Structure 1
């Protein structure tokens, strides 16, 4: 019986992972259509991962993508701990890309809900030290 529960949990994780990847792809296309250039997808560091790093003009946005059934659930999923993780990863990105320091840096969220266009929340949070 325990083996069957493990398979069910594994399947749920795989579905959630696939949903997340699909949401990131949709968010990337949405950003491109609104004039952003995607610099990195799934940027991984020791501090954590940033879903998308996008640039438009003199602005670089570190974008967290959340796929949830409701807007509220998506916003609640971006916890203070995840904000800190993203900010630490962004700091690593900036340290590795000298030119990034000359841009306006911000943290956005793209919410992906069923049967709706993605919603971008500009400057959704600030980095805290």
Structure 2
């Protein structure tokens, strides 16, 4: 196996472990999972969860340092994320009357996950 392929595989596995950790953390806060790794319209949403009358589309970022995780959601990522959220909502009309938001969970080694509610605006237009 080439070094590049090994590095990509390690990054892939680390990302999935971070998503599992984030989901467990959110479930402990009372969220119920609706979808994992939802992909549509050229975008991907790591987790879609519901608590009460709110649907949270969640971006999970795992970085070596928490500050790096905080800056990892770029404008292009937000646009792709929003497109995927619109696609999910169009396929789940029951969610139309609920509140929607874009959250983020940041994962860094040796730290508790950090859940940022309404981390960025969803572009719904």
TM class, shorter-length? over 0.9
**Cα RMSD, aligned residues only:** 1.1
Choose 1 or 2 for highest CA Rg: 1
Residue 88 (str. 1) matches residue 83 (str. 2): yes
Aligned-partner Cα distance in 2 for 1:92–1:36: 21
Shift >6 Å, 4+ stretches: none
Q: 40, 44, 55: which one pairs with 1:45?
A: 40
Q: 54, 57, 70: which one pairs with 1:75?
A: 70
Corresponding residue SS for 1:52: strand
Aligned-partner Cα distance in 1 for 2:3–2:105: 29
Q: 6, 11, 17: which one pairs with 2:12?
A: 17
TM-score (norm 2): 0.95
Aligned-partner Cα distance in 2 for 1:72–1:81: 19
Aligned match of 2:28: 33
TM-score (norm 1): 0.93
Aligned match of 1:54: 49
Would you say the 8 A contact 2:64–2:109 is kept in 1? yes
Corresponding residue SS for 2:2: helix
Which deviates further from its counterpart, 42-51 or 118-127? 42-51
Aligned-partner Cα distance in 1 for 2:56–2:41: 20
The within-5 A match list for 1:93-104 is 93-104=88-99
Would you say the 8 A contact 2:41–2:83 is kept in 1? no
Aligned-partner Cα distance in 1 for 2:69–2:56: 18
Aligned-partner Cα distance in 2 for 1:74–1:38: 23
Corresponding residue SS for 1:77: coil
Q: How many residues align?
A: 124
